[in-house]
Chains A and B, each alone.
Chain A
Amino acid sequence: GDSVTQMEGPVTLSEEAFLTINCTYTATGYPSLFWYVQYPGEGLQLLLKATKADDKGSNKGFEATYRKETTSFHLEKGSVQVSDSAVYFCALTPYGGYQKVTFGIGTKLQVIP
């Protein structure tokens, strides 16, 4: 079956540091890939998405590129802020199978001033 692998963390960074959260997946065909963010006390919200190979999703300074050859969708940000402290989930939906979302375990990011 489909799976998404990401480190659980926590990841602790100083403000303005570079962020990378790795995400790799296993799926047949061409899934759509997502990053969701969960701020403390809230539900998940979409951060960015990519729907085909080599697509780059971006939002709020975060970026991720759909790499079919390495089955990866790593999340990056050049300079993190304290307000980026949250849990980040990588997820996929199979092509045509939007009902079944597979989530990674979530990576907790803590940014310290």
Chain B
Amino acid sequence: DVKVTQSSRYLVKRTGEKVFLECVQDMDHENMFWYRQDPGLGLRLIYFSYDVKMKEKGDIPEGYSVSREKKERFSLILESASTNQTSMYLCASISGLQNQPQHFGDGTRLSIL
């Protein structure tokens, strides 16, 4: 069965810290995504990657960076965490075939104090 695994379900960090969120998929998918989910705003795309070492900015990339050194792993980095980055973060992957759905991890609820 398809599996997208996010390393932490809950994470508490302090303002100014560098924060790493990890995501691993076991489906050999080319494309991976990071979203944040906030009440009243739905899902907003932060970054996505369509191949190893390739990345593109989504709708809200400011304050974030990403890394994709291996096909199965996609990391989201908060360079200097701020309180407005407190949110639910969702990782997803999708194959290169048309009409396929995205597969999501269970999310990381991140609190920045």
Contact with A along B84-113 (1 / 0, CB 8 A): 000000101010111111111111000000
Q: Which residues of B contact A98 (CB under 8 A)?
A: 31, 94, 96-100
Shortest distance from the beta carbon of A60 to any chain B beta carbon, whole Å = 15
Query: Once the chains bind, are B105 and A43 in contact (CB under 8 Å)?
Result: yes
Query: Once the chains bind, are B106 and A49 in contact (CB under 8 Å)?
Result: no
Query: Once the chains bind, are B4 and A99 in contact (CB under 8 Å)?
Result: no
Query: Once the chains bind, are A49 and B99 in contact (CB under 8 Å)?
Result: yes
Per the CB 8 Å criterion, the residue count for chain B at the interface is 25
Interface segment, one of A19-27, A74-82, A101-109: A101-109
Q: Which residues of B contact A95 (CB under 8 A)?
A: 98
A-B contact count (CB 8 A): 56
Given contacts A49-B99, A105-B40, A106-B42, contact A42 B107 (CB under 8 A): yes
CB interface residues, B 1-27, toward A, < 8 Å: 4
Query: Once the chains bind, are B43 and A32 in contact (CB under 8 Å)?
Result: no
Q: Which residues of B contact A46 (CB under 8 A)?
A: 101-103
- Docked complex Cα distance between A8 and B40 (Å): 7
Shortest distance from the beta carbon of A80 to any chain B beta carbon, whole Å = 22
Q: Which residues of B contact A101 (CB under 8 A)?
A: 33, 45, 94, 102
Contact with B along A83-109 (1 / 0, CB 8 A): 000000100010110110101111000
Closest B residue, CB atoms, query A4: B42
Given contacts A96-B98, A99-B31, contact A104 B107 (CB under 8 A): no
Q: Which residues of A contact B40 (CB under 8 A)?
A: 8, 105
Closest A residue, CB atoms, query B43: A103
Closest A residue, CB atoms, query B108: A43
Contact with A along B76-89 (1 / 0, CB 8 A): 00000000000000
Given contacts A43-B4, A89-B42, contact A32 B99 (CB under 8 A): yes
A-B contact pairs, 13 of them (CB 8 A): A32-B98, A34-B101, A43-B106, A89-B42, A89-B43, A96-B98, A98-B31, A98-B94, A98-B98, A98-B100, A101-B102, A105-B41, A106-B43
Which positions in A face B, CB cutoff 8 Å? 8, 32, 34, 36, 41-46, 49, 51, 89, 93, 95-96, 98-99, 101, 103-106
